């Protein structure tokens, strides 16, 4: 079975999303009822010591040292 398809009642957590921006956008679209979520701005954060991605859902995302997505809460 392809991991690209998720059954209706199977949940996927943010930290299980593949470490690409495209995979994050697909996940966010699914989590937001089909509304397209796009990147507003990306930059290297000195504070967090990594690339961060501001998205149109109002949240900022980054990947941890294990390449797992997480939400930056500032």
Question: Per-residue pLDDT tens for 56-73?
Answer: 999 999 999 999 999 999
Question: Number of structural domains, the chain?
Answer: 1
Is 61 within the bounds of a domain?
A: yes
pLDDT score recorded for residue 1? 43
Cβ neighbours, 10 Å, residue 17 = 18
Is 54 within the bounds of a domain?
A: yes
pLDDT in tens, the chain (74 residues): 445 554 555 689 999 999 999 999 999 999 999 999 999 999 999 999 999 999 999 999 999 999 999 999 98
Is 9 within the bounds of a domain?
A: no
Is 2 within the bounds of a domain?
A: no
Is 58 within the bounds of a domain?
A: yes
Cα torsion 9, 25, 37, 46: sign: positive
pLDDT score recorded for residue 11? 84
Domain coverage including residue 27: 14-72
CA 61/CA 24 separation, integer angstroms? 9
Distance of CA 64 to the CA centre of its chain: 12
Distance of CA 61 to the CA centre of its chain: 6
Is 6 within the bounds of a domain?
A: no
In this prediction the pTM is 0.83
Is 24 within the bounds of a domain?
A: yes
Q: By the 8 A CB rule, do 16 and 66 touch?
A: no
């Amino acid at each position: 079975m392809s991991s690209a398809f998720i059954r209706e009642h199977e949940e996927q957590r943010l930290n299980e999303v593949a470490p690409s921006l495209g995979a994050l956008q697909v996940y966010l679209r699914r989590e937001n009822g089909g509304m397209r979520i796009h990147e507003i701005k990306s930059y290297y954060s000195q504070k967090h010591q990594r690339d961060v991605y501001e998205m149109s859902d109002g949240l900022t995302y980054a990947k941890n040292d294990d390449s797992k997505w997480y939400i930056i809460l500032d």
